[in-house]
Structure 1
Amino acid sequence: MYDFVVVGGGTAGCVLASRLSEDPSVTVCLVEAGPADNHDNFRIPVAGGKFFKTRFDWDYDSHPERFCDGRRVYLPQARVLGGGSSVNGMVYIRGNRADYDEWQQPGWSYDELLPFFKRSEDNERGADEFHGAGGPMRVSDGRAHSPSAMAFTQAALDAGYPANPDFNGAVQEGFGEYQVTQRDGRRASAVTEFLHPARHRPNLVVETNLQVQRIMIENGRAAGVVGNRFDDLVELRAEREVIVSAGTYNSPHLLMLSGIGPADLLRAFELPVFVDQPQVGQNLQDHPHIWLSYRHDLPVSLLAAAESERVHQYERDRTGMLASNGPESGGFVRTSAALAGPDLQFICLPMMVADTFLSPPTGHGVSFGASVMRPVSSGHVTLFSGEPTAKPKIVQNYLADPADLQTAVSGLRISLELSRQAALKPYAVEPSAAPSSDTETDLRAYARSHVQTGLHPVGTCAMGRVVDAELRVFGVDGLRVVDASVIPLIIRGNTNAPVMAVAERAADLVRGAQSVPGAR
């Protein structure tokens, strides 16, 4: 028996476990389906992609995407303590002020959430109006400075786009280097910065390799969870709350397996119906991203990261290629002055992208492209079966709305424009993946055939639909969802920092709740 059982040891779960266990009078159990983050590659920034399709990956794919030539899109999802923060590109982006104001949820405006961003942050540039110092999460300037990534920024400036030294400051638009979640050239994840420093607390228990299969609901209240570890059933009971932090794909999946979801669907799979909630799993949003890749012969891409000279450099001072987060540079563009914020985010990788990252580069290269920031299209997550170990059915609906396709085409046009700038000429030598031409027909065809996940899924347990503004699940006492799935409208930017802020505020909400069983 614990006071709080937190399901999912990703970014949100690690923040919650750390913050809630600060109170020695409560007990907290954090449950993670995957293993601990003990592998050395979880610390080396450039190594995040090595975990694709391994035991550290849920290895999801979308259902055949109707508007993307019927392709199944690979959707990597970390299955390890720290979740996405243990394997991601470490880009520290909060999004745009308008993002949070447009949620129209009490307590979640930009001005109300900014203190929670700052509370988490330990920015090496120091504290100011927009940044915090002394928090758990180290935010640093990049230490790799790959020549092609720097050239991409220069190409954007030469093309007339403004420079931006701080995407989390007063203005989001412009191009520059991304700040990253690194500490002294090592990955700073939610587990290293929040959870590991709290592991000595006697009131905190961390269970790994335990996949929760069902939330126990008794008399309308979440009473605990049942999970499986190596074929043994494990029951964990919660005196105060069960908090689901399993992620945008797994949180709605777990709710449905527990009897919270569309009644007709649950009955079809012979699952009990505790709450008929058709919004569970709906409203799935992500950033559709489209890469262009170019070959060159200069030995400065990340293909050379394993060379002894680069390894010695990293061992000596934690700089160079092994310190690269991958997406080192990029920027934000607003294609119309009428928009509330940027509708495109550009990312540059100093390497060739091959086969959606599932094949090694065949030579030195550079890749860059744009994500659609505020897609109109949305998808859904649902069940394939009532078997708890079955993967969820995921339909992203990328580019389903014509407006999304048009924004993606605008991003391709800008990417092609940047590829022709003098600064990128030494690197954008020969296309390995690029549109056949800049005609509307070819750009649309390329977008559909090459769109990939931006790795930022949100929305499937959204505030105002599945949970209230305090993240409590409608219709069940003692149950909250705290992760990217509660975000009702997708952020204009990377989602790791916003999820940390959501979890920081959620910890305060939980700590402020009454402890009387059944109280709401």
Structure 2
Amino acid sequence: MTQEFDYIVVGAGSAGCVLANRLTASGKHRVLLIEAGPDDNHLFINMPAAFTQAMTKGRFDWGYETEPEQHLNGRTAPCYRGRVMGGSSSINAMSFVRGHRADFDAWALEHGLEDWSYEKCLPYFKKLETFSGGANDYRGGSGTVNVTAPKLSSPLQSMFLAAAEQAGYPIAKDTNGEDQEGFGLNDQTIHKGRRVSAATAYIHPIRSRKNLRIEKEAMVDRVLFADGRTRGVEYRKNGQTKQAFCAKEVILSAGSINSPKLLVLSGIGPAKQLASLGIDVVVDSPEVGQNLHDHVDFSISHKANQPITVSPALRFPKKAIIGIEWILRKTGWGATNHFETVGYIRTNDELSQPNVQYVLVPLLAKPDGSSKARVHGFQVTAMLLRPRSRGTVTVQSTDSERPPAIHYNYLARTGDLDELRECVRKLRVILAQPSLDACRGPELSPGIEVQTDDEIDEFIRQNLKSTYHPCGTCRMGIDDASVVDAEGRVRGVSGLRVVDASIFPSVTSGNINAPTLMMAEKLVDKVLDGQ
């Protein structure tokens, strides 16, 4: 069974949805968008407060897990990746964070990617968004993605901002604007009480385009080549093996785990690995699957002395009442992710930009959304913005359904642990400020008895987790060793690109959905300019 198109986009995640929308806009190009997961029309996806259910219950996730992590006391960890229309933008926490301008300038200066400086990326950040605060020199007002500066739903959020100011940190007017550093509102991809995913923003409005075909619940097995040129893909759906061919390009937007996996299964990767799998070498590309890195986080939690937290939202009957209000009105505690305030700080004055993100959560919840304790309380999540440690994604089988081996190698570089330890001390100073005196109860985790470097380090090793921002496994660069060039074109073959977070040369300072959308908006122009 064969089909012919101009472009084939593999993966309907953040980047893939952008590409499918923009490539079909003129009506000139026939585009096939292939997604392994189902449609995104589900309560857990659309209701912002239910994101942990969408992420952790397995229905919309690939089910990946890391190998035992040596520096986390041998623990394994889930690696949540969206397997649904919208990809991870349909199951993430909806924090919209562009990153620091220095991140992109580093791509330009340190990696030689001159076209990826902040100045050249900013127009695409503005292009993609409609910001609730209105357009200005840094924000967009007529883009595809609705971005909301939240109204604070808990008094704890205001108290936290006041505590940060009392501790000597600036209050930022807009952490996605001129300067990221400081404490302020944490922008959300939420609009009128509903999640804004890449699917709702870029695909739902254009489903009727006759030159767009969407294949859901279809598993791509490999990219097809002939005479050094990309010809199409082979995929399975409903038990049938199909082939689709392209006149122009195949674009992999399968994400930082699956894009390198697909390259290897197609014969592009380290020659020794390909030989061990019995796969013919199309391109010997040693860095495919290398350079894996991710943000990591942990939480410090306190009991609250007043009943002003959102903790009742985790228990019946309040949980049911919240759900009913959201279904009927799209308002209330169900209409927010509860990550409404954020802070970006430097843990030492020698740093030129923030290296830690703090986010207040006005309840006590585990990563799967269940209650940590049947008391009023709150927690602050601390995330390391620019980790040094690097890992790998290694294909283990020619069966595309078998997960690759994912080894992040968290905390392998000692500097990561040093910065995380210092961010515990800095956060404790903020949480001890007078503005929180009226509601702050005892520290529940790690507990005030945890004070020495060794004690804090052990707490971190036992509690550190992924923030689910994998990137870098198909590194973009100007050097011959890089997997793709500055326009996402895979080296060694023609007609094949990778456009997703796997091509980040280094992670940006914050949640990576917004930079991924920007990257896709920018690279789709390169695709169309080449035609």
TM-based fold match above 0.5: yes
Select 1:479's aligned residue among 487, 496, 514: 496
Counterparts of 1:19 and 1:99 in 2: how far apart (Å)? 26
Identity %: 39
Residue 500 of structure 1 pairs with residue 517 of structure 2 = yes
Match of 2:15 in 1: 12
Residue 408 of structure 1 pairs with residue 420 of structure 2 = yes
Q: Quote the offset at 1:54 in angstroms.
A: 1.5
Residue 267 of structure 1 pairs with residue 280 of structure 2 = no
Matched-pair contact (CA < 8 Å) for 2:300–2:379: yes
Match of 1:456 in 2: 469
Aligned CA RMSD, in angstroms, stands at 1.8
User: Cα distance 1:202–1:409, how it changes in 2: closer, same or farther (>3 A)?
Assistant: same
User: Cα distance 1:425–1:269, how it changes in 2: closer, same or farther (>3 A)?
Assistant: farther
Matched-pair contact (CA < 8 Å) for 2:52–2:369: no
The Cα offsets for residues 202-239 of structure 1, whole Å up to 9 and x where unpaired, read as 00111110011111121111111111223321222111
Match of 2:359 in 1: 347
The Cα offsets for residues 166-205 of structure 1, whole Å up to 9 and x where unpaired, read as 1011111111221111111211111111111111110011
Counterparts of 1:157 and 1:210 in 2: how far apart (Å)? 51
Gaps of 5+ in 1: 515-520
Taking the TM superposition and a 5 Å limit, the aligned residue runs for 1:327-406 are 327-354=339-366, 356-357=367-368, 359-363=370-374, 364-406=376-418
Counterparts of 1:213 and 1:425 in 2: how far apart (Å)? 57
Equivalent pairs counted in the alignment come to 513
Question: In structure 2, the residue corresponding to 1:67 is in which secondary structure?
Answer: helix
Q: Quote the offset at 1:421 in angstroms.
A: 2.6
The Cα offsets for residues 247-278 of structure 1, whole Å up to 9 and x where unpaired, read as 01111011111111011111111122111111
Question: In structure 2, the residue corresponding to 1:107 is in which secondary structure?
Answer: helix
Taking the TM superposition and a 5 Å limit, the aligned residue runs for 1:18-417 are 18-51=21-54, 52-104=56-108, 105-143=113-151, 145-296=153-304, 298=307, 300-304=309-313, 306-307=318-319, 310-311=322-323, 314=326, 318-354=330-366, 356-357=367-368, 359-363=370-374, 364-417=376-429
User: Cα distance 1:360–1:257, how it changes in 2: closer, same or farther (>3 A)?
Assistant: farther
Matched-pair contact (CA < 8 Å) for 2:104–2:117: yes
Match of 1:440 in 2: 453
TM-score (norm 2): 0.93
User: Cα distance 1:450–1:428, how it changes in 2: closer, same or farther (>3 A)?
Assistant: farther
The Cα offsets for residues 77-109 of structure 1, whole Å up to 9 and x where unpaired, read as 111111111121111111111101111203111
Q: Quote the offset at 1:12 in angstroms.
A: 0.4
Counterparts of 2:228 and 2:338 in 1: how far apart (Å)? 46
Question: In structure 2, the residue corresponding to 1:161 is in which secondary structure?
Answer: coil
User: Cα distance 1:183–1:299, how it changes in 2: closer, same or farther (>3 A)?
Assistant: same
Matched-pair contact (CA < 8 Å) for 1:146–1:321: no
Matched-pair contact (CA < 8 Å) for 1:144–1:324: no
Q: Which runs of 4+ in 1 moved over 6 A?
A: none
Counterparts of 2:528 and 2:176 in 1: how far apart (Å)? 28
Matched-pair contact (CA < 8 Å) for 1:77–1:84: yes
Q: Quote the offset at 1:142 in angstroms.
A: 1.5
Gaps of 5+ in 2: none
Question: In structure 1, the residue corresponding to 2:399 is in which secondary structure?
Answer: coil
2:53 alignment partner AA:
K
Counterparts of 1:452 and 1:343 in 2: how far apart (Å)? 17
Question: In structure 1, the residue corresponding to 2:245 is in which secondary structure?
Answer: strand
Q: Quote the offset at 1:147 in angstroms.
A: 2.7
Question: In structure 2, the residue corresponding to 1:475 is in which secondary structure?
Answer: coil
Question: In structure 1, the residue corresponding to 2:134 is in which secondary structure?
Answer: coil
More deviation in 66-75 or 5-14?
Answer: 66-75
Matched-pair contact (CA < 8 Å) for 2:99–2:510: yes
Counterparts of 2:34 and 2:100 in 1: how far apart (Å)? 32
User: Cα distance 1:210–1:466, how it changes in 2: closer, same or farther (>3 A)?
Assistant: same
TM-score (norm 1): 0.95
